[in-house]
Structure 1
Amino acid sequence: MIKPLIFIVGPTAIGKSALAIKLAEKMNGEIINADSMQVYLNLNILTARPSKKDQKLIPHHLYGYIDGSIRYNVATWCNDINNIIKKNNKKKIYSIIVGGTGMYVDKLLNGLVQIPSIPESIKEESEKLLLEIGINNFIDKVKNIDEKSLNKISKNDISRLRRIWEVHEYTHKTLTFWLDNKNKKFLSNQEYQLYLFTPDRKEIYNRVNQRFINMVDRGAIDEVKKLLTLNFDKSLPIMRAHGVPEISNYLSGKTTLEECIHKGQQATRNYVKR
């Protein structure tokens, strides 16, 4: 009998990974990552990846297996996790899927829009255009292209703003058009249980603030220093991970350590609000 999938989702810093380990021990399960940043090999501390000790205790999948130079995306993740789920189903064990990336979980359960892969040249073009004309003019362009998609996102979400422009530039169709098309399904009517944790906002903010301090104490600054030596393109997802821009500014002398910590905490809190 195929076991139902177990999803543990919610904002960062609430103890999802610890709960997943307890469940995996009790239920004979394996843990699969659903966090878009924990896939990267080059960031361990700042992404709060499970410790080596925990990963030895329980099999973990899709953690730290992608080089930071790669633009990882939800389509790749859906294919990767689907393969692991199939293997676990054959072994008749539970797949415990953990993360705060709601979009990843949503696409796995509800299917993925089959938008053609956008070439790097188009992504570079959108970044160049944004720098040339500024954010307000870029938003106006996006509004003229696909106002419906624009109204669904925060005007501060640069990645999604660029995505709307890039899809139209490459496919000559709006993102809305693609979203209205049939989704590619990944799961074949498999049962699942989804546990969504929504703690008190004040409590989660306090946890976020303390965790960022703990990360700095554990070596997050050296981790970013090492990352910067790889000279990755600043538009890559890994370079926008919580804490990386703030610590990068500290290392370049643009801010003090105190300012770095404050801004790192603030960036993470802003993400929790979404």
Structure 2
Amino acid sequence: MTSLSDNKAVLIAGPTASGKSALALELAQKAGGVIINTDSMQVYHDLRVLTARPTAEEEALAPHRLYGHVDAAVNYSAGHFVRDAAHVLDDVRHQGRLPVFIGGTGLYFKALTRGLSAVPPVPDAIREAVRERLDREGVEALHAELARRDAAAAARLNVRDRTRIARALEVIEATGRPLADWHAETTPPLLPAGTTRALFIAPERDALYARIDARFEVMLQAGALDEVERLAARGLDPLLPAMKAHGVPALIRYLRGEISREEAASIGKADTRHYAKRQFTWFRHQLPEFEWMTPEAAKGWVAASKEI
């Protein structure tokens, strides 16, 4: 029987709709732990329903941190997350509680366990100027400029990849150095090897995809469309992360009368299924140290673990 106190932190990753949130809640209740969000979309205050954030009732059962604390107008990054997570981790450890990091964003978990490239924050004025040029001049023009200023980055990126092309130019404008230079420099990890129990919840694929489709319909019935309508009314930059959350672009198109509700739901479901597939692949190749478990095996591990 494993003692939960043997772990300085528990990391629970997995594809969307895999049941990892319920598992984290069960573990936190048993261990007196604190659940720390490690999902890049659940940080946004504006998208509680559509990102399947824990309900108020669930949050009352155990402490939850880093959920819904960011406005959709913010271009929240892995760097922001690591800084926020460091403060929360210090607080949780000071309380003598078990940190339970849970989510599906591989880059966030990699930043926690491997460190993060030391790219400094890009000033808002520079980011906005690059985005305005992107809209005015088009992505091909900015890719051509990137080829002159950072040939290696331009060669790696698809000429239509608006987000990454803009990001590469923003970094050059802000720092005078290409992204590759910054990626060669990393900060120490918050959770070094040997200090965690890291799990990846891996359900059977067909069952997972069916659950994703069913959950999207439940979200629509629970107010997801109202959320998106309020978000769309803000007129935010469509390149912001919150504006690209699964389901948001398609539902905005529905609200504009461009497609039917059924088409929007179908697109949202398909995008989410494709994302889940990419999550399996990403964790397998990028974080092989995570222990893969079926949902049933993970529940068994929690049940067999000693309480702290």
Q: What TM-score do the two structures reach when normalised by structure 2? A: 0.79
Match of 2:179 among 175, 180, 205: 175
**Which of these residues, 85, 93, 99, is aligned with residue 95 of structure 1?**
99
Q: CA deviation at 1:88?
A: 1.9
Whether 1:17 and 2:28 are equivalent positions in the alignment is no
> Secondary structure, in 3 states, of the residue corresponding to 2:100?
strand
- Report the alpha carbon displacement of residue 28 of structure 1 after superposing the two structures with TM: 1.8
Change (3 A) 1:198 1:140: farther
Q: Which segment drifts farther, 182-191 or 105-114? A: 182-191
Tell me: CA distance 1:4–1:149, structure 2 relative to 1, closer, same or farther (3 Å): farther
The whole-number CA distance in structure 1 between the counterparts of 2:21 and 2:38 is 11
How well do the aligned residues superpose, as a CA RMSD in angstroms? 2.5
CA distance in 1 between partners of 2:215 and 2:162 (Å): 26
Q: CA deviation at 1:36?
A: 1.1
2:135 to 131, 134, 141: 131
Residue 121 (structure 1) aligned to one of 120, 125, 142: 125
Alignment of 1:14-53 (within 5 A): 14-53=18-57
1:154-233 matches, within 5 Å, as: 158-187=162-191, 191-233=195-237
- Show structure 1 runs of 5+ residues with no match: none
Q: 1:151 deviation in Å?
A: 6.7
Cα distance between partner residues in 2 of 1:73 and 1:8: 20
Q: Distance in 2 between matches of 1:147 and 1:70?
A: 29
Q: Give the Cα separation in 2 of the matches to 1:53 and 1:63.
A: 14
- Paired amino acid for 1:124: E
Q: Which residue of 2 aligns with 1:75?
A: 79
Shift of residue 187, structure 1, vs aligned partner: 4.4
Whether contact under 8 Å (1:113, 1:184) holds in the other structure is: no
Supply the AA of the counterpart residue of 1:230: R
Deviation string, structure 1 residues 8-64 (Cα, Å, up to 9, x no partner): 011111111001011112222110101111111111100100011110011111111
Distance apart, 1:215 and its partner CA: 0.9
Structure 2 gap ranges (5+): 279-308
Does the CA contact (< 8 Å) of 1:3 and 1:93 recur in 2? no
Instruction: Find the residue that maps to 1:214 and give its secondary structure.
Output: helix
Does the C-alpha gap of structure 1 residues 61 and 190 become closer, same or farther in structure 2, counting only changes over 3 Å? farther
- 2: CA distance, partners of 1:37 / 1:10: 14
Range with greater deviation from structure 2 (199-208 or 135-144): 135-144
**Which stretch shows the higher mean deviation, 198-207 or 12-21?**
198-207
Report the equivalent of 2:266.
262
Partner Cα distance (1:176, 1:150) in 2: 11
Instruction: Choose from 219, 237, 242 the match for 1:238.
Output: 242
Decide whether aligned partners of structure 1 residues 136 and 207 sit closer, same or farther in structure 2, where only a CA change above 3 A counts. farther
Aligned residue number for residue 283 of structure 2 = none
What is the count of residue pairs matched by the alignment?
274
Report SS of the residue matched to 2:60: helix
Q: Give, in whole Å, the separation in 1 of the partners of 2:269 and 2:146.
A: 30
Q: Which amino acid aligns with 1:238?
A: A
Q: Could you give the per-residue CA deviations for residues 225-266 of structure 1, whole angstroms, max 9, x where no partner exists?
A: 122333333332222211111111111111110111111112
Q: Identity rate of aligned residues, in percent?
A: 35
Report what 2:63 is aligned to: 59
The structural deviation recorded for 1:102 is 0.8
Cα 1:47/1:175, change in 2 over 3 Å: same
3-state secondary structure, aligned to 1:121: helix
**Alignment check: 8 A CA contact 2:113 2:192 kept:** no
Q: 2:118·2:187 contact (CA, 8 Å) conserved in 1?
A: yes
Q: 1:273 aligns with which of 277, 300, 305?
A: 277
CA distance 1:253–1:166, shift in 2 (3 Å) = same
CA distance in 1, matches of 2:8, 2:156: 32
Contact 1:164–1:175 (8 Å) recurs in 2: yes
Of the structure 1 ranges 120-129 and 152-161, higher mean CA displacement relative to structure 2 is found in 152-161
Deviating 4+ runs (over 6 angstroms)? 151-156
Partner of 2:288: none
